[in-house]
């Protein structure tokens, strides 16, 4: 964090492109644009950008109330998905020379261009705006590729011909770029692919690019599929009730996964009361959230293992290759609010395509859905090389299915 002397210098530097002051505690668009622009570091100064909330344009104190809610709103930009990839930033309430302010310190990103709500924000001098096509190209060229996650690294042996360009243009591009930006977009398709981390600077597709819009992701990333097996009993046995291998680019894979989950959930009508009540073995949204997490957060590097979705008579198990990552440890896995992103571009794509509501919300949503349906909480087992989650059947549905309570199957 910057010292008080450094903060004073920032606060009084009125022509700087790495400083912004605002007296409004509610202008969230201004906050997001400023953080995004600082992270993009268009001038290439590699200096920390600072947003002072509670300071006037001339640096004087605005004397506004800096409460915990404002600090939480500012901190939310770090991982709520409105800025992608995620910015490296620190937020604090701080009293400087008797003036209470919320201070946001933003580090220049190794992975520009960052986007706020789908738009690349930049600062040139004291002015903030949206990047031109040339500025976007220059930001893309600034990436420090050797430091990036695996999903943003180029895949050896691949070429542009391994991407399904119509899928990129017709499905993915409109999902991640606002319509008005697309309408005035004069960028070449290769520039668009590079800006969205689908292509590396050398023209080879990245791992994320192959997973999102590759013609055959498994040809290059052999573990890029889901193995679904359903057994009639509570143990792995010789008899397999159903088996599928689900693969393809991300949107196709996740839609097929949703179909398999929906097809295998049983719903029973409870006829024991005056009013019929339907009871599902599992809530659809819980299995969707947990399985999507497994696809997005797994490791794709150095393994041919798929995500495994195993359906037993009394439980569903989801196994994801790769242990906890980054800030998430074996002990903290599954704890609310503890998140990190092994594959940030893949996560960004899943959110843009509508498969994620908000980053970090999957496990809480699954827990809530299971509780509403009467299922026990999910059970997590995290190990260095894998993560497994077990979801047990709702007891009420199990009783109806076994005939211990009056009920009938619902189509």
Asked if residues 35 and 124 have their Cβ atoms less than 8 Å apart, the reply is no
Beta strands in 54-124 (DSSP E): 83-84, 89-96, 99-106, 115-116, 119-124
Do residue 195 and residue 236 come from a single domain? no
What is the C-alpha separation between 308 and 331, in angstroms, rounded? 22
Domain end among 158, 185, 220: 220
Q: Of 261, 298, 111, 81, which is closest to residue 176 (Cα–Cα)?
A: 81
348 and 201 belong to one structural domain: no
Residue 411, Cβ neighbours under 10 Å: how many? 3
- Is the domain of 255 the same as that of 300? yes
Q: Is residue 138 part of a domain?
A: no
Q: Residue 248: which of 212, 220, 294 has the closest Cα? A: 212
Q: Check residue 337 and give its pLDDT.
A: 67
Co-location of 256 and 272 in the same domain: yes
Same domain, 230 and 209: no
Shared domain check, 402 and 257: yes
pTM as predicted: 0.80
Give the chain's mean pLDDT.
90
- Asked if residue 194 is part of any domain, the answer here is yes
Share of the chain above pLDDT 70, in %: 95
Q: Are 345 and 250 in contact (CB under 8 A)?
A: no
262 with 393, same domain: the answer is yes
| Higher per-residue pLDDT: 78 or 219 | 219
State whether 241 and 152 are in the same domain.
no
Q: Which of 192, 220, 248 is the last residue of a domain?
A: 220
Same domain, 121 and 179: no
pLDDT category at 370 given cuts 50, 70, 90 is: very high
Q: What domain range is 258 assigned to?
A: 226-410
Partners of 388 in the β-ladder: 319, 381
Residue 264 in any domain: the answer is yes
Residues 303 and 210 in one domain: no
The residues that bridge with 21 in the sheet, in sequence order, are 52
Residue whose token pair is 């798929």: 306
Residues of the chain with pLDDT > 90, as a percent, come to 66
The answer to whether the bond into 291 is cis (omega within 30° of 0) is: no
Residues 316 and 309 sit within 8 Å (Cβ to Cβ): yes
DSSP state of 36: H
Looking at residues 119-143, what average pLDDT do you find?
Answer: 85
**Domain boundary pick from 129, 154, 183:** 129
The 10s digit of each residue's pLDDT in 28-60 is 999 999 999 999 999 888 899 999 999 998 889
CATH number, position 264: 3.30.565.60
DSSP-derived 3-state class of residue 407: strand
Residue 135 lies in a domain: no
CATH of the domain at 41: 3.30.950.30
Strand ranges for 231-384 from DSSP E: 242-246, 267-270, 277-280, 307-311, 315-321, 379-383
* pLDDT at 407 > cutoff 70: no
Q: Is the pLDDT of residue 409 over 70?
A: no
Q: How many domains does the chain have?
A: 3
**Secondary structure class of 162 (helix, strand, coil):** helix
Q: Are residues 351 and 400 in the same domain?
A: yes
Other C-beta atoms within 10 Å of 387: how many? Answer: 24
pLDDT tens across 164-184, in order? 999 999 999 999 988 888 877
Instruction: Encode pLDDT of 253-294 as tens digits.
Output: 999 999 999 999 999 887 776 667 789 999 999 999 999 999
Q: Confirm whether 139 is domain-assigned.
A: no
Indicate whether 41 belongs to any domain: yes
89 pLDDT more than 80:
yes
Q: Residues with Cβ < 8 Å from 272, sequence gap 6 or more?
A: 405, 406, 407
Output the pLDDT for position 312: 96
Shared-domain flag, residues 201 and 253: no
Q: 167 lies in a domain?
A: yes
């Amino acid at each position: 964090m910057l010292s008080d002397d450094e903060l004073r210098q920032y606060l009084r530097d009125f022509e700087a492109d790495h400083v912004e002051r605002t007296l409004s505690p509610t202008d969230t668009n201004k906050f997001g644009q400023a953080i995004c622009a600082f992270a993009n570091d268009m001038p290439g100064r590699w200096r920390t950008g600072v947003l002072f909330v509670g300071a006037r344009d001339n640096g004087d104190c605005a004397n506004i109330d800096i409460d915990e809610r404002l600090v939480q709103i500012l901190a939310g930009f770090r991982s709520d998905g409105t800025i992608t990839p995620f910015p490296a930033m620190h937020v604090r309430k701080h009293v400087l020379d008797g003036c209470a302010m919320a201070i946001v310190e933003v580090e220049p990103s190794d992975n520009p261009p960052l986007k706020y709500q789908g738009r690349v924000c930049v600062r040139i001098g004291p002015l903030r705006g949206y990047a031109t096509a040339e500025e976007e190209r220059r930001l893309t060229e600034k990436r420090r590729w050797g430091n990036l996650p695996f999903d943003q690294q180029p895949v050896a042996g691949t070429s542009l011909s391994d991407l399904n360009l119509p899928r990129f243009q017709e499905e993915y591009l409109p999902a991640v770029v606002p319509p008005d930006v697309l309408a005035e977009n004069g960028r070449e398709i290769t520039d668009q692919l590079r800006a969205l981390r689908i292509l590396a600077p050398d023209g080879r597709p990245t791992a994320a690019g192959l997973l999102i819009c590759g013609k055959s992701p498994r040809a290059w990333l052999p573990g890029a599929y889901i193995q679904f097996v359903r057994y009639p009993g509570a143990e792995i046995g010789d008899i397999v009730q159903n088996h599928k291998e689900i693969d393809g680019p991300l949107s196709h894979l996740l839609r097929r996964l949703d179909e398999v989950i929906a097809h295998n959930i049983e719903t029973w009508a409870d006829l024991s009361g005056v009013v019929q009540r339907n009871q599902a073995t599992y809530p659809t949204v819980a299995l969707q959230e947990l399985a999507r997490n497994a696809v997005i957060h797994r490791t794709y590097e150095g393994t041919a293992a798929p995500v495994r979705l195993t359906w037993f008579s009394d439980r569903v198990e989801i196994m994801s290759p790769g242990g906890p990552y980054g800030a998430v440890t074996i002990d903290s896995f599954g704890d609310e609010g503890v998140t990190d992103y092994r594959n940030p571009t893949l996560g960004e794509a899943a959110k843009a395509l509508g498969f994620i509501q908000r980053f970090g919300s999957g496990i809480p949503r699954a827990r809530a859905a299971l509780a509403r349906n009467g299922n026990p909480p999910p059970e997590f087992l995290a190990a260095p090389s894998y993560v497994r989650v077990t979801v047990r059947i709702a007891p009420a549905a199990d009783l109806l299915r076994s005939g211990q309570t009056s009920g009938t199957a619902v189509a």
